[in-house]
Amino acid sequence: MAIIVSARNLAKRYGDLEVVRGLNFDVVGGECFGFLGPNGAGKTTTIRMIQCLSEPSGGLLEVFGMDVRKYPRKIKARIGVAPQDDLLDVDLKVRENLTIYARYFGIPDIEANRRADESLEFLQLKEKSGEKVDKLSGGMRRRLLIARAMINQPQLLIFDEPTTGLDPQARHLIWAKVRDFKERGVTIILTTHYMEEASQLCDRIAIMDRGVFIAEGRPADLVQEYVGQEVVEIRTNHIDTNAIVERLHGCDYITETYADTMYIFFREGCGVMPKLVEMGLSNYIHRLATLEDVFLKLTGRELKE
């Protein structure tokens, strides 16, 4: 597959503060590549450099084989961006937000109208085309932002937290549309704080912290590598956790305790559950391991502002 985005030793500094520190990654054509990380990890800064909104301080960053420092206009013409912030023009109607935006790309009016109609149909907004933007629900506004990002028929779509604040129905509709984009061969870069969203949509993800990648790979592979297959959460109030650890002797497991909960990550069939049942424990949750477990294990459970 063709490489759409390529970074080598990519860095970004603001004075003495190094926000992105030597990233190396490729995004290949037709995949959905996700950036995950706590606040301040460097995700947004990296995305801004890919969008040609912020120039790298060091290293090499190419999009469509072009250096972002030398060819920003050519790169911008081939990408679409659905930002986290709602930047729609509330003084315009739904359809006008698309047709007027198309002028930034020099798209003739006839073609702009055709693309606007196609996008509104695709994102189930056709019946709202004559409405003012401020009459739309939050989910509809997010879909309109995505429709606007499609107007130049981009080869690369960048979604910055596309479903933040949406109800489950709207979130799942947007997930379905992202999968449709992939079916069309569009390359996607996604940032999100929803681990389920990343698991559902991304072919590969990179988890960032303090400006570097601390893990990269397929979601399922990362879960298996870092936390195994199953998790037991035990509320530790009035429980001797040392006695639990003694019971787990000989098992392939990892434990972690935070606040009032002890987490036991283990491989299937290692015999953890029978040992816990023998202890008479009742206040626990037994579930499959998830990408969120990986994220919290690697980046920590403390809040990061």
Task: Tell me the C-alpha distance between 229 and 269, whole Å.
Answer: 10
pLDDT of residue 114: 96
- pLDDT at position 303 is 60
Three-state SS string over the chain comes to: CCEEEEEEEEEEEECCEEEEEEEEEEEECCCEEEEECCCCCCHHHHHHHHCCCCCCCEEEEEECCEECCCCHHHHHCCEEEECCCCCCCCCCEHHHHHHHHHHHHCCCHHHHHHHHHHHHHHCCCHHHCCCEHHHCCHHHHHHHHHHHHHCCCCCEEEEECCCCCCCHHHHHHHHHHHHHHHHCCCEEEEECCCHHHHHHHCCEEEEEECCEEEEEECHHHHHHHHCCCEEEEEECCCCCHHHHHHHCCCCCEEEEEECCEEEEEECCCCCHHHHHHHCCCCCEEEEECCHHHHHHHHHCCCCCC
Which pLDDT value is given to residue 270?
Answer: 66
CA separation, residue 303 to residues 99, 188, 262 (Å)? 42, 29, 18
- Taking CA atoms, 137 is separated from 109, 144, 166, 172, 213, in Å, by 28, 11, 10, 15, 36
For residues 139 and 173, is the Cβ–Cβ distance under 8 A?
A: yes
pLDDT of residue 266: 85
The predicted pLDDT at position 282 comes to 74
186/251 Cα distance (integer angstroms): 45
How do the pLDDT tens digits run along the chain, 305 residues long?
799 999 999 999 999 999 999 999 999 999 999 999 998 899 999 999 999 999 999 999 999 999 999 999 999 999 999 988 888 999 899 999 999 999 999 999 999 999 999 999 988 999 999 999 988 998 899 899 999 999 999 999 999 988 888 888 888 888 998 999 999 899 999 999 899 999 999 999 999 999 999 999 999 999 999 998 889 898 888 788 888 888 787 777 888 888 889 898 987 666 777 777 777 777 888 899 999 999 999 998 776 65
At residue 117, φ and ψ (nearest 5 deg) are: -65, -40
Closest by Cα among 159, 186, 206, 150 to 30: 186
Going along the chain from its start, the domains and CATH numbers come out as 3-218 (3.40.50.300), 228-288 (3.30.70.980)
